[in-house]
Amino acid sequence: MSTGLPGCVSLLLTMLVLVGCGEPPWNNPHPENPAGEITYQSMISPRPPKHLDPARSYASDETLFIAQITEPPLTYHFLKRPYELVPGALEDFPQITYSDADGRALDGGDPGVVFVHYTLRLRPDLRYAPHPAFALDERGQPLYLFDSAAAAAQFRNLPDFPERGDRPVHANDLAYAIKRLADPAIGSPMLGFMAQYIHGMAEFTEKLSGIERDGWLNLDDYSMSGLEVLDPLTLRITLKQRYPQFVYWLAMPFFSPIPMEVDRFFHNPGFIERNLTLNWWPMGSGPFMMVKNDPNSEIILERNPNYHPDFFPTEGAPGDAEAGFLADAGKPVPFVDRAVFRIEKESLSLWTKFLQGYYDRSGEVHAHTTGYYDTSFVVGPDGISMSEELKTKGLTMSPDVKPGLYYYAFNMRDPVVGGYTEDKRKLRRALQIAFDTEEYLNIFYKGNAVAAHTLIPPGIPGYLEGEEGLNPYVYDWVDGEAVRKSLDEARRLLAEAGYPNGRDARTGEPLKLFFDVQSQAVSKTSMNWMNRVFAEVGVQIEYRPADWNRTREKLLTGNTQIFSFGWLADYPDPENFLFLLYGPESPLVCKCDGANPANYENEEYDELFRRIRVLPPGAERDALVARSVELWRRDAVWLYSYFPKEIFLNNSWVTNTKRHGISKATLKYVRIDDAQRSRLRREWNQPVTWPLFAGGALFAGLVLPGVVAYRRRQNETATTQER
């Protein structure tokens, strides 16, 4: 009675009264879904997306939304592996032609090729989702164009506009989207990169930079020499050099059509101040449209009524039919009517809601950062499986190796660990062998990652399995599996490198290495583990933890010795990974945040890379890729590397859950059994009410003696006190 109990109990009673008024379950965090509509319930974690303008967005949590709303020219096959491109907004794959500097047509193999032309023909049945930018008044003029901010003051959100219109997608909209990439006012992350390839893009940017702006600038008034609209459905893009990987970029939202009307609409006076921008209200002709974007709570997508006929794939990868991924083959998509993504900042809340059935899927489950991982999964000889508790709920698991990699690299310009002499290679190789990657991944990632023998992840052409894909400098092939070389071998290499027993043979000083680690990405226990493994070969480690900004500064100046880094694929091509060791990408060379912070420089590798970049897929390219990987192994550029796995859990009512490592445009394939979901949610979330009654009883039990004591004290007289 004397502590917080009265407050606690009275609040519990309030809770009983308030919550008890409704039908169970009381813990449902979602409002009622519209009747008759199937809603996919998901989450955004931990932060809402920052940019949803297809020209600006370059983060996977942002693509999750844009990919459902927009339609780039190409897309990926949902089921097939290795990843396969298929036409998206296009009728067919782009037609590729070549010409010389004067525009004369040439054969693709001709060394005189200067320009490469991609002719893109749009599907004729593409139509934008209804949008107020297309609404017209009775005179056929745009309804929502305002002279002043005050005139449109009543519109604070996109759904506030009562009238909407739509129109077919034109080839000019594709051109407009590419011009937006080049507009310096938009700040697209692709501007610098694409300007190297698209003819006239840099000049276009320069032209726009010199223009004084007061409001909207119609990009249609300015031409870009590499863009040519041939007819309402056909666009020709000209590249100023060969770049076969361009087709992969055409599968990214950067290249989704954007209508001029929408750009103009969002430049109405006062719209930016009310967050009415394309950056917050993406639009397109994709299967869904955004109807709510509240970065404080949720994003809601609804089915685009104008979406063209689209069907579930009828073919898949081997094993897909057995796994049930082809059960809906040939059926029209999308299967759900709405998708609600709520912001979840804390993993406990997210996980609890998922297990209570309030989220259809778990989101990505990380082994090393998620506290509930140990209680939810069992790591056995056959890999990771779900705990009994999860199995009884009927959950299904979608594991997948991500097309990306994480690694600790040596700074190749470092005087101790860097360099290209045999001694230096031996030193690095000894450290590679000493670092037992498999044990590290088992302990700290609970087996949720694969030790890398190459820098090309599984699912990407060039990745080899088994003995063929073995790194022979670190492993031996024994009885059909890769076995790490012994510590004796590491010690031998270390001695040959000039560090017998981990001491410099010339000075007798112990070999001490410096690890630059990102404070939030490495734990004390993993540092202890690394200290132990390197101590086995007599090497000492010192850690220099810093936040990402400081680490980045060190990388830019080459002031590191060993550091951690990572890369997620933009597209499924080995070039996107071999890029990580390309000499000109060294931050010390390009004076930029280059992709090669190890500062690896090898003329042979660079030449191989330049050829791989322009060669079409085939045996010749495969051989060059294999040679590049061999150089990476031989020079022992990275201390260790691994391919992360991601695990998604699905409630039993969700199907077609196959993960796609590259594309996020998979929401249209997800199917929900709404009846089963409602039944199980009710079953799983019956409130436990006894604590409320127990709390009430406890309160009464404590208050009553207090009241009695008070009354007794009030009624005391001097006589009773004396007695």
- Which of 280, 373, 473, 653 is the binder for other proteins (CB under 8 A)? 280
> Does the footprint of other proteins cover residue 715 (CB under 8 A)?
no
Binding to other proteins by residue 346, rule CB under 8 A? Answer: yes
User: Is the CB of residue 199 less than 8 Å from the CB of residue 165?
Assistant: no
User: Are 288 and 667 in contact, with CB atoms under 8 Å apart?
Assistant: yes
CA–CA gap between residue 324 and residue 333 (Å, rounded):
17
Does 277 help bind other proteins (rule: CB under 8 A)?
yes
Minimum CB separation of residue 324 from other proteins in Å reads 32
Hey, which residues between 395 and 454 contact other proteins (CB under 8 A)? none
Dist. CA 121–CA 95, nearest whole Å: 9
Rounded CA-CA distance 342/293 in Å is: 10
Binding to other proteins by CB under 8 A, coded x per residue (else -) over 73-112, reads: ----------------------------------------
Site for other proteins contains 184 (CB under 8 A): yes
Tell which one of 102, 273, 322, 722 touches other proteins (CB under 8 A): 273
Asked whether 421 and 431 are in contact (CB, 8 A), the reply is no
Determine the Cα–Cα distance for residues 677 and 360; give it in Å rounded to an integer: 9
223 binds other proteins (CB under 8 A): no
| C-alpha distances out from residue 204 to 162, 207, 256, 267, Å | 37, 5, 19, 21
Of residues 6 and 165, the one with the C-beta less far from other proteins: 6
Stretch that binds other proteins, among 348-356, 377-385, 444-452, 534-542 (CB under 8 A): 348-356
Nearer to other proteins, 167 or 552 (CB): 552
| Part in contact with other proteins (CB under 8 A); list of ranges 84-92, 321-329, 493-501, 590-598 | 590-598
213 touches other proteins (CB under 8 A): no
Question: What is the distance between the alpha carbons of residues 447 and 405, in angstroms, rounded to a whole number?
Answer: 15
Residues 6+ apart with CB under 8 A from 245: 571, 573, 575, 576, 613
Is residue 694 part of the contact set for other proteins (CB under 8 A)? no
The C-alpha atoms of residue 531 and residue 42 are separated, in whole angstroms, by 41
Distance CA 222, CA 638 (A): 47
For other proteins (CB under 8 A), the number of binding residues is 76
Q: Determine whether 520 is exposed, middle or buried from the number of CB atoms within 10 Å of its CB (0-12, 13-18, 19+).
A: exposed
**Contact between 28 and other proteins per CB under 8 A:** yes
The answer, yes or no, to whether the previous bond of 232 is cis (omega within 30 of 0) is: no
| 13, 15, 247, 615: which one binds other proteins (CB under 8 A) | 15
173 in Cβ contact with 258 (< 8 Å): yes
Strand intervals (E) in 421-534: 449-451, 475-478, 481-484, 512-518
Residues 486-505 close enough to bind other proteins by CB under 8 A:
none
Q: Does 688 contact other proteins by CB under 8 A?
A: yes
Nearer to other proteins, 180 or 453 (CB): 180
Task: Indicate the residue among 307 and 699 with the shorter CB distance to other proteins.
Answer: 699
Q: Work out whether 150 is an interface residue with other proteins (CB under 8 A).
A: no
**One-letter amino acid identity for 599?**
N
Stretch that binds other proteins, among 252-260, 295-303, 381-389, 530-538 (CB under 8 A): 295-303
Cα–Cα distances in angstroms (integers) from residue 518 to residues 169, 453, 542, 549, in the given order: 46, 24, 14, 9
DSSP 653: T
Q: Considering the rule CB under 8 A, would residue 381 count as an interface residue with other proteins?
A: no
Alpha helices in 60-126 (DSSP H): 60-69
- Shortest distance in whole angstroms from residue 400 CB to other proteins: 21
Residue 607 in 3-state DSSP? helix
**Cβ at position 386, least distance to other proteins in Å:** 19
Position among 99, 306, 356, 531 found at the interface with other proteins (CB under 8 A): 356
345 binds other proteins (CB under 8 A): yes
- Between 376 and 432, whose beta carbon lies closer to other proteins? 376
Binding mask 560-579 for other proteins (x = CB under 8 A): ----------x---------
- DSSP conformational letter for 136: B
Q: If binding is defined by CB under 8 A, does position 218 make contact with other proteins?
A: no
275 touching other proteins, by CB under 8 A: yes
| Phi-psi region at 608: left, alpha or beta (left = phi > 0; alpha = psi -120 to 50) | alpha
22 lies in the binding site for other proteins (CB under 8 A) = yes
Please name the residue that has the structure tokens 């990657």: 437
CB of 623 to other proteins, least distance (A): 28
Structure tokens at 277: 């921008």
Q: Which stretch binds other proteins (CB under 8 A): 275-283, 384-392, 465-473, 608-616?
A: 275-283
> One-letter amino acid identity for 299?
I
35-74 residues in contact with other proteins (CB under 8 A) are 47, 50-51, 58-59
- Say whether residue 343 binds other proteins (CB under 8 A): yes
**Closest distance between other proteins and the C-beta of residue 492, in Å?**
40
Q: Candidates 13, 27, 80, 164: give the one binding other proteins (CB under 8 A).
A: 27
**Cα–Cα nearest to 113, from 104, 122, 123, 125:** 104
